Amino acid sequence: MSGRIVILTGAGISAESGLGTFRDKDGLWTRYDIRDVATPEGFARDPKFVLEFYAARRGNGANAEPNPAHYALAKLEQEHAGDVLVVTQNIDKLHERAGSVNVLHMHGIMDGDLCNNCGHRGPTGDALTTASVCPACGTKGQMRPDVVWFGEMPYHMDEIERALAKCDTFVSIGTSGEVYPAAGFVAMAREAGAHTVELNLEPSSGDFMFEERRYGPASEVVPTWVEDVIR
Ligand code: APR
C-alpha cells in the first residue's frame, strides 16, 4: 500500500497496556459522571475533586507500557513509504514511548498543565492542587490538566482536517465512535476517496462506514494489519 495514512486511535489501543477505556462495561464513565470530572463546569464546581481524578489517571499512566499495537504503528511510520499521522484521542504518551513521532493529541495530554485564567501551557511540575499558582500570570487555583473537556474545542483540528482531506487510507483503532468530532473523521476520509479501515475489539457505532473491518484485541489485530500494509 502506498500513500498517506491517517490513523485515529482511542482508549482501546491502550486497554492492553492496563489503561481503562471509557464506555466498556467497567469503563471510567461507568464509575464517574462526565459532568463532574470532564467539563469546565465540573472543575469550577469542585476543582479539588477534578484534580484528584486526573492525579489518579496520571499515576496509572506513569506505570503503563506501550503494547504491540503502539509499537506496530511506530514501525509503520518508520517503514511505510508515505506519510503516517497518528491522531489520538488518548491523553497518555504511549504512542511516543513506542517510537511514533508524527502524533497529534486532539484531547490534550495527561502530563501537561494548563492555566484556566491565561491559557499558559507547560509540562507538569508538582502534582496540581487548588493551591497551584500559574507560572505565567500568577493566578492561584486555576491550574488544570491540559486535557480537552466536553464542550471545549479539541486541539489541532485544522491540521487534522487538512490531513483527512488528502489521505489515501484512514484507520480507526480502539474507539467506540461515540464522540465527535473524532467520530466524524471517517466520513471526511470517505469524502476524500480514502480506503477506510476499522481495527477494534468489536464493531463500533460507525462500523458500517468502514470498507475494511478487523476485530480482536489491538495487540493482535494492529500488528497483523501493519504487516499486511508494509509487505
Ligand atoms: N483492543 C481493541 N479495541 C478495544 C480493546 C482492545 N483490547 N478494548 C476495548 N476496545 C474498544 C472498545 O470496543 C470500544 O469500541 O475500544 C473502544 C473504547 O471506546 P471508549 O471507551 O468510548 O473510548 P474512546 O472511543 O477512546 O472515547 C473517545 O470520549 O470520553 C471521551 O475524551 C474521552 O477520548 C475519549 C473519547
pLDDT in tens, 132-152: 999 999 999 999 999 999 999
The tally of domains found in the chain comes to 2
**Single-letter amino acid, residue 200:** N
Q: Is pLDDT at 89 greater than 90 in this prediction? A: yes
Same domain, 44 and 140: yes
Q: Is pLDDT at 126 greater than 90 in this prediction? A: no
The overall average pLDDT reported for the chain is 95
Q: Answer whether 197's CB lies under 8 Å from 204's CB.
A: no
Same domain, 125 and 229: no
Same domain, 133 and 225: no
How many distinct helices (H) and strands (E) make up the chain? 8, 9
Closest ligand 1 atom number to CA of residue 27: 21
Q: So what's the pLDDT on residue 75?
A: 98
Catalytic residues, by residue number, are 107
Identify the residue with better confidence: 164 or 20.
Answer: 164
Same domain, 95 and 201: yes
Q: Answer whether 204's CB lies under 8 Å from 198's CB.
A: yes
| 185, 201, 210, 219, best to mutate for ligand 1 pocket (most atoms within 8 Å of CB) | 201
* Cα-to-centroid distance, 117 and ligand 1 (Å): 31
Q: So what's the pLDDT on residue 210?
A: 98
Which H or E run includes 121?
strand 121-123
Q: So what's the pLDDT on residue 40?
A: 96
Q: So what's the pLDDT on residue 105?
A: 98
Same domain, 165 and 178: yes
Range of the domain at 188: 1-19+66-107+153-231
Contacts 24+ apart (CB under 8 A), 156-162: 156/87, 156/104, 156/105, 156/106, 157/106, 157/181, 159/104, 160/6, 160/87, 160/104, 160/106, 160/185, 161/188
Q: Give the mean model confidence (pLDDT) for residues 85-113.
A: 96
131: pLDDT confidence band, cut at 50, 70 and 90?
very high
Same domain, 27 and 99: no
Measured by CA distance, the residue closest to atom 14 of ligand 1 is 176
Same domain, 214 and 162: yes
Domain of 134, CATH number, reads 3.30.1600.10
Closest ligand 1 atom number to CA of residue 90: 34
125: pLDDT confidence band, cut at 50, 70 and 90?
confident
Residues with CB under 6 A from ligand 1: 10-12, 15-16, 21-24, 27, 89, 107, 174-176, 178-179, 200-202, 204, 217-218
Q: Is the N-terminal amide bond of 181 cis, ω within 30° of 0?
A: yes
Q: So what's the pLDDT on residue 61?
A: 85
